[in-house]
Amino acid sequence: MQTATAAREQTSAPASTGHPKGLYVLFATEMWERFSYYGMRALLSLYMIKALLMNKEMSSLIYGNYTSLVYLTPLLGGYMADRYWGNRKSILVGGLLMAAGQFALFFSASMYGAGQTTAPQLQLLLFFLGLGCLIFGNGFFKPNISSMVGSLYPKGDSRIDAAYTIFYMGINLGAFFSPLVCGTLGDTDDPSDFKWGFLAAGIGMLIGSLTFELLKNKYVVTPEGAPLGAKPDRGVGATGPNTPEQLVANNEVVPVQTDAPVRAETIADSERGGTPAKSFASKLPMLIGLFAVVYAAIAWIMDRDWIGALVFSAMIVAPVTILTDPSLTAREKQKIYVIFILSFFVIFFWGTFEQAGASLTFFADEQTDRNLGSYVVPASYFQSANALFIIIFAPIFAVLWTWMGKRGTEPSSPLKMAFSLMLMAVGYLIIAFGVKGVDANTKVSMFWLITMYLVHTFAELCLSPIGLALVNKLAPARFASLLMAVWFLATAAGNKLAGVLSGLYPPGPAEFAKAAKEGINLPAILNGTSQVGADVAAKLKSLELTSNWPSFLGFQITNLYEFFMIFVGLSAVASLILFVIYKRLYTMMQEPETPLQA
């Protein structure tokens, strides 16, 4: 769930009353797409555990792979739209792919049979097909609809900031309602009902796509009435309004959004001229060799986690690609270093924040007292908390930053990020104290989980609105696309890290009960008070259960307090380092004569 701000300062221009109707078409389209995405995400981990009968480690791995790839494919989708398809076709293709993905999940869930001990191969095939369609559909859809909002208005129109506020309200409304609707239908403690949640998500995606397709020609137009997002003119010597260069030039505002990338545009450098294309081409063999070596090394370290190796290798090689370009001046390199350093810290933010769809869903399902009188709150409902808090507190934070800015006391971007990471640590510290000394069979009040989500929302409001604006401000124009890609690679890496860390969730009531049905005392085995014979080891393997506590950096994780303290430690250490270096980073961001900001 996200917030937005204009990425570039707008020169004030006279504004008409109200907003173009095209804004509300984009609002509705985006709202339904987010309904589809977050509705499915609310059920994803629960479906893998309860219907596909995966263990928490495997479901966390798949969750991390899925959400990380969601941040990579928009780079491809943005390129295709800018160069070949245009926004309109990309949005339609992406929307239909995502709807197909949701329906594939519906058919997968429809194959669940009561009492099944393993998932049929076809059920798994449809599941992975659905995830693949969602990943690529998101790549074509998300970067293109966001980039159209600013083009609805005349250049410099003062309504643009308000337009993005309205547009991103659509994101948060969709994100708020979807877990409630899809959770009500699918999260019923009966695994055969998951299909109805996925079906609702698919229908929502179809409504969004249909809304855009039926209304785009009439309402999604420029101030002069020309269609927005048409196929680029790529003929020799093309000079029309739909050339890639002119389409980029018309999009004055780059939206700030962190749940999927903006277009991966190629922006001409108006000051220096040219692009890094020739330099990149000359380095291509070296970069391919470097990527292959790094990829192989990381895949080996991560025990052949090919997707994780892809994400983290790209995160290493992409900065090398940029920094070795000979056209960069010393001043440009200094600003680029700031982007890379902050991108590194962003990995830790999203690695801890994105537990919402994985380990925190496990916690909500198994060890949170969800009873409100006679009603049991579905575990998936808790994923609506962040969106609700964003809707409530985003305007307050916007007013706060404006008020502080007028008085010269607004924190710099690096300092806001440091506060954000510290708030993440505080949120996990709250829930860690909530479970401290509580045994695995005791459920704790939902107060702890909701309070943590509230603090994490404050953390998000300190970080997510300023990330892309910072990249846009600091990046040399000819490297804008590559540096935006690095930022989203960091977000992808953070989501992948979230899956890895969620896989450390210690065995709990569900695993103990599963083992007990086979006559195995799993707590005794984990604590070393019972020996594991060959027959017991075979049974544990067939049940996809482990005989050892998970460990992190050599430390065993034997309970939820220790598990949540991992996130406290990671966030707090990252925050403290940023607090130490933020002044230096701010100085590197500014021109030499700019006075230092707090």
For range 320-335, the mean pLDDT: 85
Q: What is the mean pLDDT of residues 220-244?
A: 68
The distance in angstroms from the start CA to the end CA of the chain is 28
356 secondary structure, DSSP code: G
pLDDT of residue 262: 33
The answer, yes or no, to whether residue 341 has pLDDT greater than 70, is yes
Q: Does 235 have pLDDT greater than 80? A: no
Give Cβ neighbours of residue 498 (< 8 Å, ≥ 6 apart): 63, 64, 67, 350, 351, 352, 353, 354, 355, 358
| pLDDT tens track for 553-586 | 889 999 999 999 999 999 999 999 999 999 999 9
Rounded to whole angstroms, the Cα distance separating 472 from 318 reads 17
- DSSP, collapsed to helix, strand or coil, labels residue 376 as strand
What residues contact residue 44 under an 8 Å CB cut-off, 6+ apart?
A: 63, 66, 357
Higher pLDDT pick, 169 / 281: 169
pLDDT of 153 reads 84
Confidence of residue 7 (pLDDT cuts 50, 70, 90): very low
**pLDDT tens by residue, 509-534:** 889 988 898 889 999 998 888 888 88
Q: What is the pLDDT of residue 16?
A: 56
pLDDT for 221:
85
Q: Would the pLDDT of 386 be above 70?
A: yes
What's the whole-number mean pLDDT along residues 327-353?
Answer: 92
Domains assigned to the chain: 1-12+20-222 (1.20.1250.20), 346-479+494-506+561-598 (1.20.1250.20), 507-548 (no CATH)
Distances (CA, A) of 185 to 48, 179, 188, 196, 380: 17, 10, 7, 6, 11
Contacts of 51 (CB under 8 A, 6+ apart): 109, 112, 119, 191, 192, 194
Residue 433 has pLDDT above 90, yes or no: yes
Calculate mean pLDDT across residues 177-182: 96
DSSP string, 477-539: GGGHHHHHHHHHHHHHHHHHHHHHHHTTPPP-HHHHHHHHTTT--HHHHHTTSS---HHHHHH
Q: Which one, of 324, 344, 342, 348, lies nearest residue 589 by Cα?
A: 342
- Let me know how long the chain is: 598
The pLDDT of residue 184 is above 50: yes
> Residues 107-117: what's their mean pLDDT?
91
The distance between the two most distant Cα atoms of the chain, rounded to a whole number of Å, is: 79
- pLDDT value at residue 242: 54
Burial 494-507 (b: 16+ CB within 10 A, else e): bbbbbbbbbbbbbb
As a whole number, mean pLDDT of residues 116-141 equals 94
The pLDDT score that the predictor gives to residue 11 is 38
Q: How many CB atoms are located within 10 Å of the residue 268 CB?
A: 15
Q: pLDDT band for 478, please (50, 70, 90 cuts).
A: confident
Say how far apart CA 211 and CA 508 lie, in whole Å: 45
For 339-355, what is the mean pLDDT? Answer: 94
CA 558 to chain CA centroid, Å, is 29
Please report which confidence band the pLDDT of residue 475 belongs to, taking 50, 70 and 90 as the band edges: confident
Minimum mean pLDDT among 88-102, 146-160, 349-363: which range?
146-160
Query: What is the pLDDT averaged over residues 326-334?
Result: 87
Position 259 confidence tier, pLDDT thresholds 50, 70, 90:
very low
Indicate whether 186 pLDDT > 70: yes
- Is the pLDDT reported for residue 180 higher than 50? yes
Tell me what the mean pLDDT of segment 14-20 comes to: 65
Whole-number pLDDT of residue 394: 87
Give mean pLDDT, residues 267-280: 46
pLDDT for position 1: 59
**Distance (Å, rounded) from C-alpha 418 to C-alpha 578?**
5
Residue 271 binned pLDDT confidence (cut-offs 50, 70, 90): very low
Axis crossing angle, helix 160-186 with helix 194-219, rounded to the nearest 10: 150
DSSP state of 120: -
